[in-house]
Structure 1
Amino acid sequence: MSSANNSTRATPSPLTSNGVQPKSTTGIIPTNNVTTKAGVTVRARIDPTLTVEDVVRQLCLHLKVTEPHTTLALRDRDTEELITSENLRKKIKNKVHLKLVNSSAIEAAGIVAKLSLREEKSLRMSLFSLQRFIKEEKFAQEFLDRDGLRELVDVIETAHGNTLAYALTAMQNLMDLDYGWSTLDDSFIFKVVQILSSPNSLINVCRPATAILKKLVEADPTSVPGPIIASSSRIPPVAPAGSVYRYGFQSVYEQMRRQKGSLETVVSRLGSPDTAMAQHSVMLINSLLSHVNDTYWDEFIADLERLNVRKAIIRLMSSHVDDLTSCVLDFQANIVRVTYRKKTTLVEPEVELAHLSALHYIWECSGVQEGLDSEGHPSKWRRLGFDSENIVEEFQDAGVLGLDCLVNFVQDDPDFFSKVILEQLSRPEERRCPVAKASNEVVELLSQHWTIFAPAYSTSAFQPLFLNFQKVHCLALHFFLRMWNESGSAVNDFNRIADLTRSQIKVALQQESAKPWHEVEHDFLEREYRAVRDRQMQELEAGDDLLSRVPVRNLKEKLTRESAEFVRQQRIHCLLQGAWFLNGVPTQHTGSARRPNGQWRFMRLDNGLKYLHYVDSSAKIDVRNGTEDLPERIEIASINQITTGTCAPLPNLARDHPDIPTTLSPSPLSFSLLSAGGESLADQIATHQSRWADWTDGLNMLRRDSGHVTSEETAGYIKALTEIGLKIKLLDLSGEKVDIPSGLIAGPPPTNTDFFFSDLL
């Protein structure tokens, strides 16, 4: 093989294992340019059946390279991607320009040595390279084997500025592996918390620091990868000795508690003008919410409420709608779970000091004295509008959520609360509005409106009014009290006023994502009784009051869960079948893990639901069942976020598909799969709306921390299936002329445990 100082135009040389001219299934193998470390470029035909080690060995032989071939490797000259036996065939086929470089072992040894020297200039350059190399599993293993993790941790302990940013990013990328960083201790976590909390930290330092904490939160024992055995359950995972799945919420939150103001700093950065910083902050908060344990649940949720995170999220959504929709909807789904947990947590003043304090505050603000009822029995809580003195039973349905809402109503205007209570007590007993009972009823009505029960998936729409649950409760309770007074109601009219309030809630909260707050206030505070009553009568004529009864509402909740699970299975089935997509061009700057090698991409989920296999092609081709024809893959666990409307089609392709815009503006049928570091793993454009909905929602439903659906189509299917199922159930009951009660009263508990539940056939 001839060579020159810069390049060679000689006849391509074949590299084979047996001296025979290499062939491919389509003819002569394409020619690849190969550049040596000395800058010499040669042309060669490479047998794709060879291993990378054999290719490197033969290149060294032909080029008379003096270095041992074991110290060298091949990379894509343009993308710096390491050539492996898995991607060699594709690189040869696409005529990629290759280059000979140091092997992963040599690179790792050199970088570890430079990290230990701490010389500022070489340290920064080494860390800059480490950010990229550490993503390669082969390099990462060599780096870890040379005690590189300890050196990197030591650098993070002392570095600052861009050097620290590079070091943290390298650590973040290393933590994409599920091994090798189980030795990180509390002192390291605390150091990262300190870095994050420092007001002097640069944005490019705070982003990876936030991502590292998120990784640590999610690395709890319950997150050990394991086979999925059902839609909502997995075989109980067991973390092996030395596993990285040994951290979790407590490991991070305890260090955040040590560093004063750390959580406040994370929340404050939700308002950062840097979208990526705001996104990382939301994602960290989401991880904390998803993994918070029972030990710190009350404290952590109280901290978030004190810091008014919901308001910050609402403000954030209004300013970064496209970029942050996915993580904001995840936050909303987390708040649904928080709200449900509060609603199902009993109020126990004899056990929980916080509950006792809240009840004491409510009583003190009422300005009422304990007294006796008409039969001479002690009366305290009944004077505030409860049905009995058993406070645990009174909050049985509304739970701690009801207590919190009542406390908020009192805090909003203590004088008004006292005035209302005293005014009711001045009336005859049968004309009094039970204020406390009304508060809990409004909680129940709002919970029904926003479907606050153990949710399978949250709505695909942003609901700022839901995030303002207590403020809406306050308005709705004012409405309830006003309707009571304007209608001259008596005790027996409670359910009638509750129905009026339910009707008004439906009207006031419709299209809430676009409705200004002042219009919501007007609907609750200014609507006259007669107008509300007339509208409700029209609704009753057009509808069925059966839907408002408790057993029917409970049935609807059950059917919603079943419908959501059915749609989930259908979406995942679409992923298992696979589909063709256009490869997109991101309209915003994002790092890309791989450059597509064709205008089309076929993707299919494997049966284990762990990998998304794909192949790129210049045209649609026949793809067999299974994954044999799909050489590339994306690990589902590495998908941290699915964003939509993020990329545009190639202009020459867009002309063939009239449904897709021809400009470089984002296509509404596009979506991107992003890693934890914000790197794009795939940028795809669906050829029609149904496929886009199937895949974006299906992928979201596979993610462990996902809590929302993306498309209105999926949400509509769930709603339609629920309504059809409900109508069928009600037709069965009404056909048999079964009376459906307005409520169910539980009988007394068993006197002993000498019983069992029989199986009904």
Structure 2
Amino acid sequence: MSAFSHSHNPSTSTLTAGFRLGTSGALAPTSSNGASRPKSANLVPTNSITTKDGVTVRARIDPTLTVDEVIKSLCLNLKIKDPAVMFALRDETDELVTNDNLRKKIKSKVGLKLVNAPALEAAEIVEKLSMKDDKTLRLTLFSLQKFIREGQFASEFLQRDGLRELLDVINISHGNTLAYALSAMQNLMDLDRGWSNLDNSFISTIVQILSSPQSLINVCRPATAILKKLVEADPLSAPGPVLPSTSRSPPSAPPGSVYRYGFDVVYGQMRKEKGLLETVVTRLGSADTAMVLYSMMLINSLLSHATDARWEEFIGELERLNVRKAVIRLMSSHTIEDLTSCILDFQVNMVRVTYRKKTSPVEPDVNPAHYDALEEIWHASKLEEHVAERQWSLLGFASDNMYDEFGDVGVLGLNCLKQFSQRDSEFFSEVVLEQLGRAEERRCPVARASNEVVELLLEHWAIFAPGYSTSTTFQPFFLNFYKVHALALKFFLHMWTESGSSVDDFPRIVALTRSQLHIALNEENSRAWHEVENDFLEAEYRAVRDRQMKELEEEDDFMTKVPVRNLRAKLYKESYEFVRQQRLQCLMQGAWFVNAIPLSSPVPKDTDNGMKYIHFCDSSAKFPVRNGLEDLPERIDISQISEIATGTCAAPPHVLRDQNDLPPPTPLTPSPLSFSVLNAAGESLADQIAPDQSRWADWTDALQMLRKDGGHMASQETAGFVQALTEIGLKIKLLDLTGEKVDIPSGLVAGPPPNNTDFFFSDLDS
């Protein structure tokens, strides 16, 4: 999973943070080179402690003591009569002091406060919640939002039936009181315990809140986050062994587990509230960046967790609402810095959707939607006005078997042809009728050409398998898949006509189209759409042919044959997994970073679940790190990590740095080697600057890859490694064939099936 360190006030000395990924409290053995450990490490700092009565004392606290021992000692020395169990320590920001963070706060000389223990705080808050007085509720809920994130407080709150009181408040509240109550509920749900008994009525309430146009933005934000959390509380996402991607049978959730909701439960309630999904998509155009981000997060979670039973219905609804267009608009938004990660996650989800459509067979006999799509294509052709019976060959199909005709492109190919026929039905019918007016050998098989263009686009965007994507930049043209397909198909038809092609020339026009695709879709994240349209619609055959001939001189065209493309797809997946494992090993080995200054407060992003930690320490100098946990006393729970944001912070002033280690300081300017680790509330758990580009790529991409859905890559370096390994592997694999001059066919034709089953397969002797 993932994690890091803390930012420091520029006026204090800048510390170096050493990190290493650990598993279940154990630490992988490694060592770090650097200066020796500071000799002053054993000195006990002095902290100021303020009592409930306002008395402030100075105390030297032994960092080897537990919090309970420190409190007992304070009560004894300050002659406090109440039992020590009634007290707790908090810092100046009201963060609870625990055994995990005590040493750090002592070392940093943080001011501490002796306050009520979490048990007393919880009892008082639960009592006030039951009063249902609006003013009291607002003040109580405001405190509850903060305290509920603490494990000790949450346990006491839940034991006192606080959740029931909070749910009652949500049911009767509105305005800011409701916003505070939902925020408290959102923060409680981040603990992944204590909310396993939420029923459909609660989910329905959240859905109704989101659907209401009267709901305030500060109400909709936590409500959206709660719905997202319920979607992700899927039995398949429960901590433990990761199930194979082919297995969608959810395991039964153990008693008390919150992983008992998921997509079907939430979407079932969403369907009852007409217009909710449309409202969520509409909010992608909100002026409130946080609201946009929460909406993107919910959509991504729904896409990642959609089940087979409702997948087609849900994806169809998103397509109808044109969510892709809404996301494309966000790509050019001025608030893009906060949305980059979510948009890249959406692209990865769309890769999965596209691949699944490509591999879903067209079965008009059993799927009414497929039958209806073919009906619409036929009606758009207007061939029924010229022929008495339907003949699919007139549209360019080789047979009437749609399962076979769309065998390589599946439902994606069917949808593309349907979109092409519907977007401009007059043009479509003219093209079809024009082809019928030609001699049979001169006709362009429109349907076959459409499917071929789909395959070329899948090849261009490297959609070889679900969950694998090396894109680190926005791909607005990919999200416009149907429109690009229409342009490329028009280009194909234009080249066919202008060159006077016949059926035997089909592969040549395919090659021309592939060449033009690479030109038109180049530099996708920076090109204007009108330039793409011009490249496809205004191209001249002779110019395209001349350029393609030059390209063929540099590259053997057998690399584009189907078997070679399939081999490249297989090697691509292997290379991706190899690089992923290498990046994860970098986390296990550990590294040193400079603590940085965050330039803004990040907004919350997607959440991970995990059982591992990243262990770290703060030090004014590097020192050799021994095996074990002694040298890395601090840790960050991976389950608290929500997102890895890049380019978010600047190097502190007056940093002592090795010339070869870090780039020159640029105060308050984002460092390209910086990254922040964020929790679900948008708070930074660590703000770091890597010593070099390689270390930055290793850690940012490894932390992204640890996400259960694969995440997205942050660096071109990692993406380049995957592509390079793929191409090297491909060339090595092909050496045996090319060396022996083995002919690689363009495709393989299956022979006739056996007449009977009276046969067996035998192992051949090597």
What TM-score, normalized by structure 2, do the two folds share? Answer: 0.90
- Aligned AA (1:248): G
The aligned residue for residue 518 of structure 1 is 530
Say whether the 8 Å CA contact 1:379–1:389 is kept in structure 2.
Answer: no
Separation in structure 2 between the aligned mates of residue 230 and residue 349 of structure 1, nearest angstrom: 30
> Where do 5+ consecutive residues of structure 2 fail to align?
1-38, 605-609
- Aligned AA (1:52): V
**Is 1:509 matched with 2:521?**
yes
- How far off its partner does 1:749 sit? 4.2
Say whether the 8 Å CA contact 2:611–2:639 is kept in structure 1.
Answer: no
Quickly say closer, same or farther: Cα 1:368–1:28, change in 2 above 3 A.
Answer: closer
Quickly say closer, same or farther: Cα 1:259–1:154, change in 2 above 3 A.
Answer: same
Alignment deviations for residues 468-487 of structure 1 (CA, whole Å, 9 cap, x no partner): 00000000000000000000
The aligned residue for residue 393 of structure 2 is 382
> Where do 5+ consecutive residues of structure 1 fail to align?
1-23, 593-607
Say whether the 8 Å CA contact 2:290–2:603 is kept in structure 1.
Answer: no
Alignment deviations for residues 708-730 of structure 1 (CA, whole Å, 9 cap, x no partner): 21101111111111111111111
Alignment deviations for residues 381-438 of structure 1 (CA, whole Å, 9 cap, x no partner): 0011011111111010111000100011011111111111111111111111000110
Separation in structure 2 between the aligned mates of residue 229 and residue 303 of structure 1, nearest angstrom: 28
Superposition CA RMSD, Å: 2.4
Say whether the 8 Å CA contact 2:603–2:681 is kept in structure 1.
Answer: no
- How far off its partner does 1:759 sit? 9.0
Separation in structure 2 between the aligned mates of residue 265 and residue 72 of structure 1, nearest angstrom: 47
- How far off its partner does 1:447 sit? 0.6
- How far off its partner does 1:25 sit? 8.2
Separation in structure 1 between the aligned mates of residue 427 and residue 673 of structure 2, nearest angstrom: 52
Separation in structure 1 between the aligned mates of residue 395 and residue 245 of structure 2, nearest angstrom: 45
Q: Which of structure 1's runs of 4+ aligned residues deviate more than 4 A?
A: 24-28, 227-238, 370-373, 654-658, 753-761
- Aligned AA (1:404): N
The aligned residue for residue 630 of structure 1 is 632
**Is 1:709 matched with 2:713?**
yes
Separation in structure 2 between the aligned mates of residue 505 and residue 131 of structure 1, nearest angstrom: 52
SS in 1 for 2:670: coil
**Is 1:719 matched with 2:731?**
no
Choose 705-714 or 747-756, whichever is displaced more. Answer: 747-756
Separation in structure 2 between the aligned mates of residue 296 and residue 233 of structure 1, nearest angstrom: 16
- How far off its partner does 1:32 sit? 1.9
Alignment deviations for residues 306-337 of structure 1 (CA, whole Å, 9 cap, x no partner): 11111111111211332211110000000000
SS in 1 for 2:533: helix
The aligned residue for residue 422 of structure 1 is 433
Quickly say closer, same or farther: Cα 1:659–1:204, change in 2 above 3 A.
Answer: same
- How far off its partner does 1:366 sit? 1.0
| 1:275-424 to 2 correspondences below 5 Å | 275-319=289-333, 320-369=335-384, 380-424=391-435
Say whether the 8 Å CA contact 1:227–1:234 is kept in structure 2.
Answer: no
- How far off its partner does 1:520 sit? 0.3
Say whether the 8 Å CA contact 2:89–2:97 is kept in structure 1.
Answer: yes
Q: Which residue, out of 444, 455, 460, partners 1:433?
A: 444
Alignment deviations for residues 293-317 of structure 1 (CA, whole Å, 9 cap, x no partner): 0111111101111111111111112
- Counting aligned pairs with the same residue, the percent is 67
Say whether the 8 Å CA contact 1:224–1:237 is kept in structure 2.
Answer: no
Alignment deviations for residues 44-88 of structure 1 (CA, whole Å, 9 cap, x no partner): 222333322222122122212232221111111x22121222322
Say whether the 8 Å CA contact 2:488–2:517 is kept in structure 1.
Answer: yes
Choose 40-49 or 535-544, whichever is displaced more. Answer: 40-49
Say whether the 8 Å CA contact 1:226–1:235 is kept in structure 2.
Answer: no
Separation in structure 2 between the aligned mates of residue 462 and residue 352 of structure 1, nearest angstrom: 34
Choose 243-252 or 451-460, whichever is displaced more. Answer: 451-460
Quickly say closer, same or farther: Cα 1:757–1:659, change in 2 above 3 A.
Answer: farther
SS in 2 for 1:296: helix
- How far off its partner does 1:237 sit? 6.2
Say whether the 8 Å CA contact 1:211–1:676 is kept in structure 2.
Answer: no
- How far off its partner does 1:211 sit? 0.8
Say whether the 8 Å CA contact 1:322–1:645 is kept in structure 2.
Answer: no
The aligned residue for residue 662 of structure 1 is 666
The aligned residue for residue 692 of structure 2 is 688
- How far off its partner does 1:275 sit? 1.4
Say whether the 8 Å CA contact 1:609–1:636 is kept in structure 2.
Answer: yes
**Is 1:550 matched with 2:565?**
no
- How far off its partner does 1:618 sit? 2.1
Quickly say closer, same or farther: Cα 1:153–1:748, change in 2 above 3 A.
Answer: farther
- Aligned AA (1:42): V
Q: Which residue, out of 157, 174, 191, partners 2:188?
A: 174
- How far off its partner does 1:196 sit? 1.6
Separation in structure 1 between the aligned mates of residue 705 and residue 484 of structure 2, nearest angstrom: 30
Separation in structure 1 between the aligned mates of residue 490 and residue 448 of structure 2, nearest angstrom: 13
Say whether the 8 Å CA contact 1:226–1:237 is kept in structure 2.
Answer: no
Quickly say closer, same or farther: Cα 1:303–1:554, change in 2 above 3 A.
Answer: same
- Aligned AA (2:177): T
Say whether the 8 Å CA contact 2:207–2:273 is kept in structure 1.
Answer: yes
Q: Which residue, out of 729, 742, 747, partners 1:743?
A: 747
**Is 1:641 matched with 2:655?**
no
SS in 2 for 1:58: helix
Separation in structure 2 between the aligned mates of residue 459 and residue 28 of structure 1, nearest angstrom: 50
What TM-score, normalized by structure 1, do the two folds share? Answer: 0.91
SS in 2 for 1:672: strand
SS in 1 for 2:308: coil
- How far off its partner does 1:626 sit? 4.1
Quickly say closer, same or farther: Cα 1:216–1:360, change in 2 above 3 A.
Answer: same
**Is 1:698 matched with 2:702?**
yes
The aligned residue for residue 672 of structure 1 is 676
Alignment deviations for residues 613-632 of structure 1 (CA, whole Å, 9 cap, x no partner): 11112222221234432222
Say whether the 8 Å CA contact 1:333–1:458 is kept in structure 2.
Answer: no
Q: Which residue, out of 48, 56, 65, partners 1:33?
A: 48
Separation in structure 1 between the aligned mates of residue 343 and residue 521 of structure 2, nearest angstrom: 20
**Is 1:568 matched with 2:580?**
yes
Say whether the 8 Å CA contact 2:189–2:195 is kept in structure 1.
Answer: yes
| 1:587-602 to 2 correspondences below 5 Å | 587-590=599-602
SS in 2 for 1:732: helix
The aligned residue for residue 178 of structure 2 is 164
Quickly say closer, same or farther: Cα 1:185–1:734, change in 2 above 3 A.
Answer: same
The aligned residue for residue 10 of structure 2 is none
Q: Which residue, out of 255, 273, 287, partners 1:273?
A: 287
Choose 615-624 or 34-43, whichever is displaced more. Answer: 615-624
Separation in structure 2 between the aligned mates of residue 85 and residue 731 of structure 1, nearest angstrom: 60
- Aligned AA (1:72): F
Separation in structure 2 between the aligned mates of residue 760 and residue 559 of structure 1, nearest angstrom: 28
Choose 566-575 or 457-466, whichever is displaced more. Answer: 457-466
**Is 1:240 matched with 2:254?**
yes
Quickly say closer, same or farther: Cα 1:371–1:235, change in 2 above 3 A.
Answer: closer
Say whether the 8 Å CA contact 1:104–1:142 is kept in structure 2.
Answer: yes
The aligned residue for residue 596 of structure 1 is none
Q: Which residue, out of 213, 216, 223, partners 1:199?
A: 213
- Aligned AA (2:473): A
Separation in structure 2 between the aligned mates of residue 416 and residue 308 of structure 1, nearest angstrom: 23
- How far off its partner does 1:269 sit? 1.1
Alignment deviations for residues 550-580 of structure 1 (CA, whole Å, 9 cap, x no partner): 0000001111111111110110011111111
Separation in structure 1 between the aligned mates of residue 740 and residue 118 of structure 2, nearest angstrom: 75
- How far off its partner does 1:231 sit? 11
Separation in structure 2 between the aligned mates of residue 709 and residue 366 of structure 1, nearest angstrom: 43
Separation in structure 1 between the aligned mates of residue 765 and residue 613 of structure 2, nearest angstrom: 41
- Aligned AA (1:313): V
Separation in structure 1 between the aligned mates of residue 161 and residue 549 of structure 2, nearest angstrom: 75
